[in-house]
Structure 1
């Protein structure tokens, strides 16, 4: 019998001072059995750091033709393609041709992620940010995950301050370009 996804709920207080975004979404995040907690935390952070009207999680691992997070306009057109982890160059190329904006959030070594794209065709690669966090940050956050979570995330001057279930964390938000 195949295992189903585990649903995690996050009551989020989001204050992104850098972008002027202040929201309090309640998010239901499905974690597929083959997905690590670190990947799920990175998906959650990508969602919060990219938060805007029309943002949504895709079907996850089951949706091989969509990114982890996407933004659609009122007509249903994908306006932002947000990958998580270490997507291959072909996925980035496809996303950059379909959406106005593409971003990659990773919990892995960003130098190794970017090296895998070297010399490969990626549409508008110079416009695609590769976003990462301080080493150990994502794993430390993943260690305090529960099925029901209370989270406060404040972003100011490209630094994130996170409180999750009573534990506090902080990290710089590092950004480089894919191309």
Structure 2
């Protein structure tokens, strides 16, 4: 098999992240049978950018601008992604709703991780909302992305049990531990099945 055809067969992933980037790091360190070829970030000064630099992953900054619609921003993003020949988008703490432009360009090829057992506690504050609600069991969900907020088809879930002693911080740490194991494992399975 020549190198050109192996490039075509290997999934080429763009990771989207907005903040710390611990799930980005977990995916990088998992040695997936895919190439993480670019990081897309919507903030100019967040820790995930340093993680990308450390691992020599190129970065596309897709910063929201006043007066620029989501459709125009995503169209520009598609142009910026084109040189990387990306086949799949993996959202890892990306705090924006993906619009129709990206959804249509990558049908059923966008996955996301959420720090709660969907459909419970969707949205930006999944861990905090579950904690405030006093639930004894929360967890982590990996799902396909659709046009809603955390409404896409569930791919994998794992429960996290809350003890009497858990604070919001300790519960968050437990959830992140599961995320960092479950996300690479699930992405690997999707690649093996040929879904990604």
Asked if Structure 1 and Structure 2 have the same fold, meaning a TM-score greater than 0.5 normalized by the shorter chain, the answer is: no
The structure where helix makes up a greater share of residues is 2
TM-score range, shorter chain: 0.3 to 0.5
Kindly name which structure, 1 or 2, has the bigger radius of gyration based on alpha carbons: 2
Tell me the TM-score normalised to structure 2 length. Answer: 0.33
